[in-house]
Amino acid sequence: MRRCGGPILAALFSLAAGPAANVADPLRLVTPTIYGTHLPGLGQPATSLAKRIQKLSAGQLGLDLRQPGQGTETKDILDQVSGGSADAGFSAPSFWAAKIPAAALFSGFPFGPDAKGYVDWFQAGNGRKLYQKMYDQAGYKIHVIPCTFGGGETGGWFAKVIDSKADFEGLRMRIFGLGGRVMARLGAKTVVVPGGAVAAAFEKNQIDAAELYPPSVDQRQNLQGKVKLIYVPGWHQPETVLELLINKDRWNTLDDQQQALIETACEAMLLETLAESGRAQKKALADFARDGVRIAPWPDEVLTAFREAWAEVAQEESGKDPFFKEVLDDLTQFGKGEAGALPQASVGGGEP
């Protein structure tokens, strides 16, 4: 009997296998981002995450990042991902607090956890379960993964010295969210100013103070050229959590290996940014000090006033929204409810 040669056998097997033998086309998840990827800490980690997923999957899975305004407005990311017109989104849960009040608690809130506290709660507590429950019960078709840390903020940039809580009466401050509620309770007038216009608002004497971004991002705004006083710590947002949202139907079409790969990539990014972000913020504070910016601790009286006002705001929100109360109570019971992203050791502004 004649035997078929090696080349002929190879051809026969190839024909028998047909198209299934071809390597599948790479899967790309269209992913709009809340922040531009040029911003350190807030946007750049999306690029790092995309590269990590690409590498772990040997090029077979990736994120097709879309910059803010590139087909999707930032305010629409949650709705578009839930509705399926975007596969995924790289965002911050605080952006959805007007729709889902508890979202602020997963993003960074007054006297909330630092990065380590959030990692502990996500990994060893009920953080992940409650995070997913939040979107589920609000009716969003979302699989959520806490993915990176953007850094803690300072207490704000001030054109006026704050010696006591009385100094907040009539103070015009650019601040939002739960922190803004606290400041308003102390008599401040909260002002809406786009992030890119804060330096000009100080120059035109339209505001007296502003919270903006973590220090490493504030540097990009050149606020140090307009204002020479920063208060620390950033009691209103000790950390900034960034999330990866994936449309739930799309998530369910991924196989177990692809899902595990994305989860693993986000977990690695959380730990990586936990380690990197604190150093980046301290370096930025040191740079500000060399530029003549005074970095001062809040007076004890003022910090006490912040805590008391926050307790009132938290009680009000808990009374209005049972899920807000459930999350806040769980975090408190977990024992990680103290600010700590910008420690007192770095207040002097020298090299850490």
**Which pLDDT score, from 0 to 100, does residue 25 have?**
86
- Split at pLDDT 50, 70, 90, the class of 253 is very high
Confirm if 173 and 210 have CB atoms less than 8 A apart.
yes
Which of 159, 161, 240, 174 lies closest to 211, judged by CA? 174
Query: What mean pLDDT value characterizes the chain?
Result: 89
**Which pLDDT score, from 0 to 100, does residue 71 have?**
86
The pLDDT of residue 342 is above 80: no
Confirm if 216 and 280 have CB atoms less than 8 A apart.
yes
Instruction: Please give the average per-residue pLDDT across 169-193, as a whole number.
Output: 97
Residue 274: burial class (beta carbons within 10 Å; 0-12, 13-18, 19+): middle
The pLDDT of residue 130 is above 90: yes
Between residues 55 and 337, the one the model is more confident about = 55
The pLDDT of residue 345 is above 50: no
Instruction: Please give the average per-residue pLDDT across 337-347, as a whole number.
Output: 38
Other CB atoms closer than 10 Å to residue 103's CB: what's the count?
A: 25
The pLDDT of residue 3 is above 50: no
**Which pLDDT score, from 0 to 100, does residue 2 have?**
39
**Which pLDDT score, from 0 to 100, does residue 23 have?**
55
The pLDDT of residue 81 is above 50: yes
* Domain definitions of the chain by residue range: 24-152+239-279, 156-237+292-342
- Split at pLDDT 50, 70, 90, the class of 210 is very high
pTM value? 0.88
Nearest 10 degrees: Cα torsion 224, 225, 229, 234: -30
The pLDDT of residue 339 is above 60: no
The pLDDT of residue 13 is above 80: no
**Which pLDDT score, from 0 to 100, does residue 282 have?**
94
Cβ neighbors of 127 (< 8 A, separation 6 or more) are 106, 118, 121, 146, 331
Q: Please name the CATH architecture into which domain 24-152+239-279 falls.
A: 3-Layer(aba) Sandwich (3.40)
Instruction: Evaluate whether 24-152+239-279 and 156-237+292-342 have a shared fold.
Output: yes
Instruction: Please give the average per-residue pLDDT across 109-115, as a whole number.
Output: 96
The pLDDT of residue 18 is above 50: no
* Percent of the chain's residues with pLDDT above 90: 84
Superfamily of domain 156-237+292-342: Periplasmic binding protein-like II (3.40.190.10)
The pLDDT of residue 312 is above 50: yes
- Split at pLDDT 50, 70, 90, the class of 14 is very low
Cβ neighbors of 224 (< 8 A, separation 6 or more) are 218, 287, 288, 291, 292, 293
Instruction: Please give the average per-residue pLDDT across 182-206, as a whole number.
Output: 95
Which of 292, 160, 313, 169 lies closest to 235, judged by CA? 313
pLDDT tens for residues 25-57?
Answer: 899 999 999 999 999 999 999 999 999 999 999
**Which pLDDT score, from 0 to 100, does residue 335 have?**
79
Integer CA distances (angstroms), 112 to 198, 205, 234, in order? 25, 32, 10
* Percent of the chain's residues with pLDDT above 70: 89
- Split at pLDDT 50, 70, 90, the class of 221 is confident
Instruction: Please give the average per-residue pLDDT across 140-154, as a whole number.
Output: 97
**Which pLDDT score, from 0 to 100, does residue 88 have?**
98
